[in-house]
Structure 1
Amino acid sequence: MNFHPRTEDPLRRLGSSEARLGGLVQDAVAGGTPLALFHIDIDHFRSINENMGVAVGDEALALMGQRLVDEFSAQALIWRHGSDEFVVAMPRDANAPSPQQFGERLRDAIELPLSVLPYTLFLSGTVGMALCPEDASDVGTLLHHAENAVSQAKHEGLNLVRRYTAGAPINLRSDSMVARQIVNAMANNEFQLCYQPQINAHDGRVVGMEALLRWHSPALGVLAPERFMHVAEKLGVIVQIGDWVLKQVFAQARIWRDRGFDDLSVAVNVSAMQLMRPSFVDEVLDAVHAAGIPASMVVLEVRENTLAKDMSVVHRTLAHLHRQGIRLTLDDFGMGDSNLDSLMRFSVDKIKIDRSFIKGVPNSSREVAIACAIIAMGHQLGMKVIAHGVETDVQLGFLRRNHCDMLQGHLFGEAVSAEEAGAVLRRRYLRAESFAAIKPDRALLLLDDEENILRSLVRLFRRDGYRIFSASNVNDAFDLLATNDIQVILSDQRMSDMSGTEFLGRVRVLYPNTVRLVLSGFTDLATVTEAINRGEIYRFLTKPWNDDELRDHIRQAFTAHEHQSQLRQGI
Structure 2
Amino acid sequence: MPRRANHAPIALSPQSRLVTAAAAQSDGFASQNGAARRGQGDGPGALRVLVIDDNAIVLEGFRKTLANEVASSTAALDALGHSLFGKDAKPETPARAERPDFEVDLVAEGAQGWRRAVEAVSVGRPYAVAFVDLRMPGGWDGLQTIEALWRTDPCIQVVICTAYSEYSWDDITARLGRSDRLLVLRKPFETIEVLQLACTLSEKWSLHRERQARLDDLERRVAERTQRLQQALDEGKAYEENLHHQATHDALTGLPNRLLLADRAAQFIAQMKGSGLRLAMLFLDLDQFKIINDSWGHGVGDALLKAVALRLQVTVRDSDTVARLGGDEFVIILASLAQFKDADNVAQKVLAAFAEPFAVGDHQFFLTASIGVSVYPEDGDNSETLLKHADVAMYAAKEQGRHAVQFYTREMGVRVEERIALQNALCLALERQEFELHYQPQVDMKSGKVRGVEALVRWHRPEVGMVPPDRFIPLAEETGLILPIGEWVLKTACAQVKAWHAAGYPDLSMAVNVSACQFRQQNMPELVRAVLAETGLAARYLELELTESVLMQDKDAVVRALRQLKQIGVTLSLDDFGTGYSSLSYLKDFPIDVVKIDRSFVRDVTNSVEGASLTKAIIAMARSLNLTTVAEGVETEGQLSFLNTHRCDAIQGYYFSRPLPANDLVALLGAGKHLPVEYSRSEPVRRTLLLVDDDESILSTLDRLLRRDGFHILSTTSPRQALELLAIHPVGVIVCDARMPEMPGMELLRRVKGLYPDIVRIMLTGHSTVDSVTDAINDGAVYKFITKPWDDALLREKIAEAFRRHEMSSENDRPAREEADAATIELPGAAKQLSAESAP
Normalising by structure 2, we get a TM-score of 0.53
Matches within 5 A, 1:161-172: 162=407, 170-172=414-416
Which letter does structure 2 place at the counterpart of 1:262? P
C-alpha displacement of 1:198 = 1.8
* Contact in 2 for aligned 1:151/1:171 (Cα 8 Å): no
Aligned CA distance change for structure 1 residues 421 and 55 (closer, same or farther; 3 Å): farther
Aligned CA distance change for structure 1 residues 424 and 4 (closer, same or farther; 3 Å): farther
C-alpha displacement of 1:24 = 9.7
When Rg is computed on C-alpha atoms for both structures, the one with the higher figure is 2
**Aligned twin of 2:600:** 356
Are 1:379 and 2:598 counterparts?
A: no
Instruction: After superposition, give the CA deviation of every residue in 1:451-477 in whole Å (9 maximum; x if it has no partner).
Output: 543332122224455432113454332
Instruction: After superposition, give the CA deviation of every residue in 1:149-191 in whole Å (9 maximum; x if it has no partner).
Output: 65788999985464x6656774338988877776665445454
C-alpha displacement of 1:79 = 5.6
Aligned CA distance change for structure 1 residues 155 and 137 (closer, same or farther; 3 Å): same
Three-state SS of the structure 1 residue aligned to 2:416 is coil
**Aligned twin of 2:535:** 291
**Aligned twin of 2:635:** 391
* Contact in 2 for aligned 1:474/1:498 (Cα 8 Å): no
Aligned CA distance change for structure 1 residues 529 and 160 (closer, same or farther; 3 Å): closer
Range that drifts further, 203-212 or 345-354:
203-212
- Unaligned stretches of 5+ in structure 2? 1-247, 815-840
**Aligned twin of 1:319:** 563
* Contact in 1 for aligned 2:441/2:453 (Cα 8 Å): yes
Q: Give the percent of matched residue pairs that are identical in Structure 1 and Structure 2.
A: 31
Three-state SS of the structure 2 residue aligned to 1:360 is coil
* Contact in 1 for aligned 2:442/2:452 (Cα 8 Å): yes
C-alpha displacement of 1:295 = 0.9
Are 1:213 and 2:457 counterparts?
A: yes
Are 1:3 and 2:247 counterparts?
A: no
Which letter does structure 2 place at the counterpart of 1:477? A
* CA distance in 1: counterparts of 2:398 and 2:780, whole angstroms: 52
* Contact in 1 for aligned 2:312/2:322 (Cα 8 Å): no
Three-state SS of the structure 1 residue aligned to 2:500 is helix
* CA distance in 1: counterparts of 2:419 and 2:351, whole angstroms: 19
C-alpha displacement of 1:391 = 2.2
**Aligned twin of 1:126:** 371
* CA distance in 2: counterparts of 1:387 and 1:294, whole angstroms: 25
C-alpha displacement of 1:372 = 0.9
* Contact in 2 for aligned 1:443/1:485 (Cα 8 Å): yes
Aligned CA distance change for structure 1 residues 232 and 87 (closer, same or farther; 3 Å): farther
Range that drifts further, 281-290 or 485-494:
485-494
Instruction: After superposition, give the CA deviation of every residue in 1:458-506 in whole Å (9 maximum; x if it has no partner).
Output: 2222445543211345433221121123344344567724168746644
Aligned CA distance change for structure 1 residues 66 and 529 (closer, same or farther; 3 Å): closer
Q: Which fold has the larger relative contact order, with Cα–Cα distance below 8 Å and residues 6 or more apart in sequence?
A: 1
Aligned CA distance change for structure 1 residues 406 and 229 (closer, same or farther; 3 Å): same
Matches within 5 A, 1:264-303: 264-276=508-520, 279-303=523-547
Match of 2:358 among 106, 110, 115: 115
* CA distance in 2: counterparts of 1:561 and 1:138, whole angstroms: 72
Which letter does structure 2 place at the counterpart of 1:42? D
Instruction: After superposition, give the CA deviation of every residue in 1:370-421 in whole Å (9 maximum; x if it has no partner).
Output: 1111111111111111112222222122111111111122323333433333
C-alpha displacement of 1:131 = 6.0
Aligned CA distance change for structure 1 residues 311 and 133 (closer, same or farther; 3 Å): closer
Are 1:498 and 2:746 counterparts?
A: yes
Matches within 5 A, 1:392-541: 392-430=636-674, 432=676, 435=679, 442-448=687-693, 450-464=695-709, 466-492=711-737, 496-498=744-746, 502=750, 505-506=753-754, 508-509=756-757, 512=758, 537=783
Range that drifts further, 118-127 or 293-302:
118-127
Are 1:263 and 2:511 counterparts?
A: no
**Aligned twin of 1:9:** none
C-alpha displacement of 1:423 = 3.2
* Contact in 2 for aligned 1:528/1:540 (Cα 8 Å): no
* Contact in 2 for aligned 1:281/1:317 (Cα 8 Å): yes
* CA distance in 1: counterparts of 2:552 and 2:446, whole angstroms: 33
C-alpha displacement of 1:213 = 3.2
Which letter does structure 2 place at the counterpart of 1:112? A
Match of 1:254 among 498, 505, 516: 498
* Contact in 2 for aligned 1:3/1:69 (Cα 8 Å): no
Instruction: After superposition, give the CA deviation of every residue in 1:512-562 in whole Å (9 maximum; x if it has no partner).
Output: 3x565555666979978996998985x765654333454455556667778
**Aligned twin of 2:613:** 369
C-alpha displacement of 1:359 = 2.1
Match of 2:439 among 195, 215, 219: 195
Aligned CA distance change for structure 1 residues 294 and 154 (closer, same or farther; 3 Å): closer
* Contact in 1 for aligned 2:294/2:554 (Cα 8 Å): no
* CA distance in 1: counterparts of 2:775 and 2:580, whole angstroms: 42
**Aligned twin of 1:340:** 584
Normalising by structure 1, we get a TM-score of 0.74
C-alpha displacement of 1:254 = 1.6
* Contact in 1 for aligned 2:749/2:761 (Cα 8 Å): no
* Contact in 1 for aligned 2:374/2:387 (Cα 8 Å): no
Which letter does structure 2 place at the counterpart of 1:480? L
Range that drifts further, 455-464 or 227-236:
227-236
Three-state SS of the structure 2 residue aligned to 1:468 is strand
Query: How many residue pairs get matched?
Result: 546
* CA distance in 2: counterparts of 1:482 and 1:343, whole angstroms: 29
* CA distance in 2: counterparts of 1:535 and 1:166, whole angstroms: 53
* Contact in 2 for aligned 1:517/1:541 (Cα 8 Å): yes
* Contact in 2 for aligned 1:271/1:303 (Cα 8 Å): yes
Instruction: After superposition, give the CA deviation of every residue in 1:322-345 in whole Å (9 maximum; x if it has no partner).
Output: 233211111121121243223112
* Contact in 2 for aligned 1:69/1:78 (Cα 8 Å): no
Aligned CA distance change for structure 1 residues 552 and 541 (closer, same or farther; 3 Å): same
* CA distance in 1: counterparts of 2:305 and 2:461, whole angstroms: 28
* CA distance in 2: counterparts of 1:408 and 1:238, whole angstroms: 24
Aligned CA distance change for structure 1 residues 3 and 155 (closer, same or farther; 3 Å): same
Range that drifts further, 524-533 or 471-480:
524-533
* CA distance in 1: counterparts of 2:488 and 2:463, whole angstroms: 22
Range that drifts further, 202-211 or 144-153:
144-153
Which letter does structure 1 place at the counterpart of 2:283? I
Aligned CA distance change for structure 1 residues 428 and 80 (closer, same or farther; 3 Å): farther
* CA distance in 1: counterparts of 2:806 and 2:763, whole angstroms: 16
Match of 2:285 among 42, 48, 54: 42
* CA distance in 2: counterparts of 1:58 and 1:223, whole angstroms: 36
Three-state SS of the structure 2 residue aligned to 1:375 is helix
Aligned CA distance change for structure 1 residues 22 and 425 (closer, same or farther; 3 Å): farther
* CA distance in 2: counterparts of 1:156 and 1:383, whole angstroms: 37
* Contact in 1 for aligned 2:608/2:755 (Cα 8 Å): no
Which letter does structure 1 place at the counterpart of 2:575? D
